[in-house]
Each structure stands twice: as C-alpha cells, then as structure tokens.
Amino acid sequence: MELTVSLAQHTYTILIQKGALQTVGDWAAALWQPQKIVLVTDENVSSLYSEQVQNSLIAAGFHVTIAAVPAGETSKSLEMATWLYDTFAEAGLTRSDGVIILGGGVVGDLGAFAASTYMRGIHFLQIPTSLVAQVDSSIGGKTAVNTQTAKNLVGTFTQPDGVLIDPLVLNTLPLRRVREGIAEIIKTAAIADTTLWSQLADLKDEADLLRHSEAIIYACCEVKRRVVEQDPFDHQERLTLNFGHTIGHALENTAGYGEIAHGEGVALGMIQISRNAEKRGEITAGLTQQLTEMIQKFHLPTEHHLNKETLYQALTHDKKARGNQIKIILVPEIGRAIIQPIPLEMMRDYIEE
C-alpha cells in the first residue's frame, strides 16, 4: 500500500507494507544517491533492528553511522539534539548527506528536529516502529523537542523525503505502547472517519487490531495525508488532529514526561474535554460515553487525579494559544471535528470534573 503526500514545494510517498524493513536499502537507494547517513534510533529499537537496517543500507551503497539515544520521552530534549548535532558532525555529514530515523514518536520528533536544524537543514527519512508513529507522528513534517515548560515547545515544520511503515515491527512492542497508538487511531476515527470507527467497534481487542494493522494504519495515514495537504502549517483544519492533545500534553507535562504516556494523555484529554463540552451542550449527548467505551475496550485510562490548577498552568503554553485565546477541538458527532476559539481563561471550564 502506498500514499503520496503532495505539497506545494515537496512531495513524498508513504509505503505501508508488512516485511518492508527487509528492503530498506533498496527503498532508500530509490530516493537518495549514495551518501553518508546517520541512523538515529533509541537503545531499545537499536537492539532489535539497527544492525539489519545498517547492513541493508551498506549493501545499497551508503556509509552508515548509528546514533542510539536512551529510550523514553526524556530524550526528546535540546540537550539530546545537541548530542546529535555533534554526532552528525563527527560522522562528517554535509548538506548533501542525510539522516534516517528508526524508532517511535520520541525518536521521530527528535531526529527530524535535529536533521531539520543541522546546517540549516538536511534531508531525512522516517521509519516509524511504534504504532503512535506509524499512524500519526511520522507523517506531516512536524518536528519538536520538549522543554521543562511544555511538550513540543521547540520545533520546525520540515517534511521527510519518504516514510516506510512495516506493521510487522509492532509485534515487538510492549502492550502499553500498542495501546497508546490505539488512542491515536480512536482520535482519527472520531474526528474524520466513521468507517474506521465502525471497524474499531467490530474488533475484539488489541491483538485483533494488530491482525488488521495494515488496513487500519492506511486509513489513519489517509486522513492525515488529506489534512496535511490542506493545511501543512497547522493554521486551521490540521488543528483537528489535536483532539485530546491540549489537555493530554498538559497531563504529560504535569505528571512528568514518561509517567503518563502520550497516547494515555490523549485518551484522557479526549474524554475530559468531551465530558465538559457535553455538559455545556456543545456536542451530541452521549458522545462522551461512546468515546469512553471505545477507550475502555482497549484498556486505556479514562480518569486522572492531577491538580487542576497545575494542569491549567501547563496548558497555557499550548501552541494553539494565540494571545489570550486558545483553539480547542471538539467532536460534536463521530466523524466530524470542529475548531472552537475560546478565551484562555475559559479552559478552566474544560478541565473541571
């Protein structure tokens, strides 16, 4: 399965195919001339796949250096980006060389950020290995690192030259990581795809979803492709992809990065903002229950106990804030999302129980 993302100044293809990782060298050689490459990964993924990928790339004519960062959200930092810059320089990367990113959302965001800012930007490819990255974060060109103030506060919009998705790598994921990817799939269905929502409703559990991973990943990528093409820089429609993320990111930050996983924060955020919007009569009655039942089905959290004022202070740094306003995303009915600007102070109403 293939999808093409067509933007005004850049076009690239998303390849979704079981077993595709075995042919990564041929895939990269079809996109790039032989050159120096730094393969950015994390220590967990590296132990599973980096040798295989490196050998395939070398056989295709590339010179490869592996840069493995510690696994986990805390690696998505300016300090780790600086370490990558030094690694790129030591590997002799010039503006004619590239970066290939092998890993989940943390490595995908970090590696792409480092590539997009090293020497004012060098090209890169994404090989996402987590479900979150395969259905969402590896596509669309958002790069970022976290700071102590907020998640994804520093970043760029820089598109990859290609994305290779091999659903078979999901078989090595811990169940918690599968579940947080499912949160992003639920989000995608809720905002834009009633057919996908029906498919999720028919699934028995996480294992059943993985059996249908190729088609489900394709459906999510198709939604994201369409939205990114219409709004590449996150000014309007692309914001709908952030359903659940405003509160979710604040939860991640407030709890301490890694304590609440990204997908867990998104699940909690979707429920909380919908619960309070439903109380205010802004969305269809019963919508929150639909979301809650779907989220519970895949064993994601539905309640949190973090301090509301601390949570509010964290979300005031959200990138959707403009001056004293913030744009929140609501789902009035399954398959449709709306963008609603509100005064920032009013966000308190959406984080009350």
Mean pLDDT confidence for 257-273: 92
Q: Verify that 181 and 157 share a domain, yes or no.
A: no
Q: Are residues 116 and 77 in the same domain?
A: yes
| Whether the predicted pLDDT of 347 surpasses 80 | yes
C-alpha 220/C-alpha 257 separation (Å) is 26
Confidence at 31, pLDDT banded by 50, 70, 90:
very high
**Are 203 and 280 part of one and the same domain?**
yes
Q: In the prediction, which pLDDT does 348 show? A: 86
pLDDT at 351: 83
Contact 326, 344 (CB under 8 A): yes
Residue 258 is predicted with a pLDDT of: 77
pTM: 0.93
Q: What is the pLDDT of residue 259?
A: 87
pLDDT in tens, 125-181: 999 999 999 999 999 999 999 998 888 899 999 999 999 999 999 999 999 999 999
What pLDDT shows up at residue 180?
A: 94
- Which of residues 145, 172, 199 is at a domain's end? 172
Q: What is the pLDDT of residue 63?
A: 98
Ramachandran class of 101: left when φ > 0, alpha when ψ lies in -120 to 50, beta otherwise: beta
Q: Are residues 267 and 225 in the same domain?
A: yes
The annotated binding site for Zn(2+) is made up of: 184, 245, 262
Q: Which of 151, 172, 193 is the last residue of a domain?
A: 172
- Running DSSP on this structure, what letter comes out for residue 70? P
Domain with 14 in it: what CATH number?
Answer: 3.40.50.1970
Binding-site sequence positions for NAD(+)? 105-109, 129-130, 142, 151
Asked if residue 195 and residue 127 are part of one domain, the reply reads: no
> Which is more confidently placed, 304 or 125?
125
Cα(209)–Cα(133) distance, rounded to whole angstroms?
16
Domain limits for position 281: 175-349
- Write down the pLDDT at residue 235: 84
Residues 209 and 120 in one domain: no
Residues 76 and 212 in one domain: no
Domain count, the chain: 2
Confidence of residue 314 (pLDDT cuts 50, 70, 90): confident
- Same domain as 68, residue 54: yes
Lowest mean pLDDT among 195-199, 212-216, 317-321: 317-321
Shortest CA distance to 134 belongs to which of 259, 29, 256, 21?
A: 21
Q: Return the higher-pLDDT residue of 208 and 353.
A: 208
- Enumerate the known binding-site residues: 105-109, 129-130, 142, 151, 184, 245, 262
Same domain, yes or no: 159 and 207: no
For residue 183, give the CATH number of its domain: 1.20.1090.10
Q: Stretch 328-347: mean pLDDT, rounded?
A: 94
- Tokens (6 digits) for 288: 């929150």
Q: Do 164 and 275 have their domain in common?
A: no
- 250: how many CB neighbours lie within 10 A of its CB? 26
Same domain, 340 and 232: yes
What is the share, in percent, of the chain residues with pLDDT greater than 90?
83
Does position 310 have pLDDT exceeding 90, yes or no? no
CA distance 135 to 98: 24
Q: 3-class SS at 259?
A: coil
Mean pLDDT of 85-114: 97
Which of the four pLDDT bands, split at 50, 70 and 90, describes residue 349?
confident
Q: Which of 173, 141, 175, 137 lies closest to 45, judged by CA?
A: 173
In this structure, the answer to whether residues 118 and 167 fall within a common structural domain is yes
Among 242, 347, 331, 328, which Cα is nearest to 278's? 331
Select from 141, 172, 203 the last residue of a domain: 172
Amino acid symbol at 74:
T
Q: Which residue has the higher pLDDT, 348 or 121?
A: 121
Alpha helix locations (H) across the chain?
Answer: 24-31, 43-45, 51-59, 78-90, 105-117, 131-132, 175-192, 194-202, 206-211, 213-230, 245-255, 262-279, 287-297, 308-315, 347-350
